[in-house]
Amino acid sequence: MKNIKYIILFAALVFTTAGCKKFLNVTPIEAQSGNNFWKTREEVEGFTNGIYARLRSKVAGTPQFFNGDDRAFFPALEIRGNSINVLSIDGDGANTFNALIGNNMKFIVSRGNRYDNLMKKIMSWKEWYDVIAASNIMYFEIDKVPSSSLQDADRRRYKAEAVFLRNLSYMFICKLFGDAVYYTEAYHSTPLARTPQVEVMKKCIADMTAAKADLPATYNDVSSNGFRPTKATAVALLMHLNMWAAAWDSADKTKYYEAVKTLATELDTYTNYKLLPITPENTLKIFKGRSTENLFGILQDFNYGEGFSLPAGFSYYFSHYPYRGTVTKTASSMAYNKDYISKLYPAGIPDARLTNWFENYDSGTGTFQFKKFANIYTTGSGSAISVTSDDSAIIFRLPDCYLLTAEALAELGDEGGARDFTNRVREAAAAPPIVLGGQDLKDEIYRERCRELIGEGQFFFDLVRTKRVVNSDFTKSPISVANLNAGAWTWPLTISADERSANPYLIGNNFWN
């Protein structure tokens, strides 16, 4: 109840604006001033929880039985450009998802069914800027909290947390749309042009690097671990920022790969993190979000009233009863293409992910069952029972960092180190070590990311970042080099009339205009 109170307060204070002529700006009512609001640690914590609520709303929505605020953020990032068969989905959804697979974003923009609208919600960056604006306010206003109410160490931690939240948002903005409108000051109102994404990444790297030391190595409150940033979480974000910058910086990329190598050395010093062997029990722990390999995620927990909209979960599309739906839901709505999934997990090569995460993995039909996301809750009884996903949304976890490190080391020519970090992940999956070199090694590291992170929303970002999106060996819908350079990898950017009026410098993504 206390969380609900602060979320409502957050919405009232932060997202009330003085008028529509402010662009990417938060203009709070008078009660937001330091003298009137920032008095206690509890109030700071409540405001912070409100920012996380805004982040959760952006990527996961709220349960359908509450207000129908649907999202499909992470599933869409996994489905776009992937080798997926759309089998049966309600309404006209098959056309939407086939367009997404085929990178036909103009088709989606031109239509308006339920699933088109889910995709269009991804095409707005406003909610990301809501998080950024609120984080900037928190960073600024927290210095006004009396020292008698907030210890200096906590003050620095909250400021570092604000830095993390704004940089996480900038990361997603750039991965979705390319160039971003970048600012870090509170109560910003001056119209700005979009900054090239490489420059945004450099600013974010410097910003997060400077704040990282003020984050804790772990939290005394175990409920925060995995869902509030630690030093290791900052390392994960910095790895992603560096690897995204390396993909687009036409100058020397070595500095980004070296940075990732250094970050990996630091990550190894945080001994409270470790990989878990792939078993059904550990899979449940990992995707609930508080295991030793979880670095950051967004909590979903039915028991605490923290629910996502149904389409926000990957199992909504790739699972059937008893992992999703009613007893009559006997077929999955989507399945991975047989040729693709068979190449990813070749027959005869042991892999605990294959045996634990799938049933009928290579059927290409509705008998396909995805068991990676197996945390569930049930409602009803008997023949009216209904099963719903209760997995959290995992944004960063340890295998992701190890495989980014492997990529960076391979690019630096350290093939032994690249194999070592890749084989850490394969050992946890009870899979044989890789022994490849050269381009084969680089391709195998990429495929290992596909195997390990399947269903987690990394697929299209990795496809674009590594430029394999131009190669039909890695995507069902390759983009030509010319179209890639012209921005076909981005999502269309929806800009409202008020935003255009407020900011004459604002332009969309020209490829989709």
- pTM for the full predicted model: 0.93
**What's the pLDDT at 63?**
86
- Count the domains in the chain: 1
Express each pLDDT in 171-223 by its tens digit. Answer: 999 999 999 999 999 998 889 999 999 999 999 999 999 999 999 999 999 99
> Rounded to the nearest 5°, which phi and psi values hold at 398?
-55, -45
**What's the pLDDT at 66?**
47
Extract the tokens encoding 36: 């009137």
Handedness of CA 273, 313, 200, 154 (dihedral sign): negative
24 in a structural domain: no
Express each pLDDT in 457-490 by its tens digit. Answer: 999 999 999 999 999 999 999 999 999 999 999 9
Extract the tokens encoding 243: 């690897």
Question: Token pair 């997926």 is at which residue?
Answer: 84
Confidence of residue 28 (pLDDT cuts 50, 70, 90): very low
The angle formed by the CA atoms of residues 455, 460 and 462, to the nearest 5 degrees, is 95
Name the residue among 67, 68, 194, 189 with its Cα closest to residue 125: 194
369-370 and 358-359 strand pairing: antiparallel
Percent of the chain with pLDDT over 70: 92
**In whole angstroms, what separates CA 210 from the centre of its chain?**
23
Extract the tokens encoding 350: 């042991």
Express each pLDDT in 440-463 by its tens digit. Answer: 999 999 999 999 999 999 999 999
Measure the CA–CA gap between 135 and 165, rounded to whole angstroms. Answer: 7
**Domain carrying residue 320:** 311-391
Asked if the model's pLDDT at residue 8 lies above 50, the reply is no
- The average pLDDT across 416-431 equals 98
- The average pLDDT across 100-115 equals 95
Strand partners, 112: none
Confidence of residue 382 (pLDDT cuts 50, 70, 90): confident
Asked if the model's pLDDT at residue 14 lies above 90, the reply is no
Extract the tokens encoding 175: 């991965």
Extract the tokens encoding 148: 């008698």
Strand partners, 336: 84
393-397 and 294-298 strand pairing: antiparallel
Under 8 Å between Cβ of 395 and 300: no
> Rounded to the nearest 5°, which phi and psi values hold at 397?
-145, 165
Contacts of 398 (CB under 8 A, 6+ apart): 273, 274, 275, 292, 293, 294, 295
Name the residue among 256, 237, 236 with its Cα closest to residue 246: 256
386-389 and 376-379 strand pairing: antiparallel
HSE-up (13 A, CA, CB side) for residue 131: 26
**What's the pLDDT at 18?**
32
376 in a structural domain: yes
Range scoring the smallest mean pLDDT among 3-12, 58-67, 224-233: 3-12
Extract the tokens encoding 172: 């997603």
Express each pLDDT in 291-325 by its tens digit. Answer: 999 999 999 999 988 899 999 999 999 999 999 99
**What's the pLDDT at 39?**
87
Query: 107: exposed, middle or buried (C-beta count within 10 Å: 0-12, 13-18, 19+)?
Result: middle
322 in a structural domain: yes
**What's the pLDDT at 189?**
86
CA dihedral 435, 439, 442, 446 (to 10 degrees): -110
Name the residue among 206, 234, 378, 382 with its Cα closest to residue 296: 234
Name the residue among 122, 142, 467 with its Cα closest to residue 475: 467
**What's the pLDDT at 513?**
82
**What's the pLDDT at 305?**
86
222 in a structural domain: no
155 in a structural domain: no
> Rounded to the nearest 5°, which phi and psi values hold at 8?
-65, -45
Query: 433: exposed, middle or buried (C-beta count within 10 Å: 0-12, 13-18, 19+)?
Result: exposed
Extract the tokens encoding 314: 């990957």
505 in a structural domain: no
Asked if the model's pLDDT at residue 29 lies above 80, the reply is no
Asked if the model's pLDDT at residue 234 lies above 60, the reply is yes
- Which runs of consecutive H residues, i.e. helices, occur in 83-229? 93-101, 105-109, 114-122, 126-141, 152-177, 197-211
284 in a structural domain: no
**What's the pLDDT at 36?**
57
Confidence of residue 498 (pLDDT cuts 50, 70, 90): confident
Name the residue among 285, 296, 311, 270 with its Cα closest to residue 397: 296
Confidence of residue 13 (pLDDT cuts 50, 70, 90): very low
State the DSSP H helix or E strand holding residue 327, giving kind and residue range, or none if neither.
Answer: none
Measure the CA–CA gap between 451 and 342, rounded to whole angstroms. Answer: 11
Name the residue among 452, 492, 444, 491 with its Cα closest to residue 468: 444
**What's the pLDDT at 65?**
55
Asked if the model's pLDDT at residue 349 lies above 90, the reply is yes
- How high does pLDDT run on average in the chain? 91
State the DSSP H helix or E strand holding residue 340, giving kind and residue range, or none if neither.
Answer: helix 338-344
Measure the CA–CA gap between 474 and 481, rounded to whole angstroms. Answer: 15
Asked if the model's pLDDT at residue 45 lies above 50, the reply is yes
346 in a structural domain: yes
Asked if the model's pLDDT at residue 27 lies above 80, the reply is no
Extract the tokens encoding 126: 């406003």
Under 8 Å between Cβ of 88 and 341: no
Asked if the model's pLDDT at residue 240 lies above 60, the reply is yes
**What's the pLDDT at 209?**
98
Express each pLDDT in 395-416 by its tens digit. Answer: 999 999 999 999 999 999 999 9
Asked if the model's pLDDT at residue 361 lies above 80, the reply is yes
Distances (CA, A) of 461 to 171, 284, 466, 491: 11, 25, 9, 11
**What's the pLDDT at 109?**
95
CA dihedral 283, 287, 289, 291 (to 10 degrees): 10
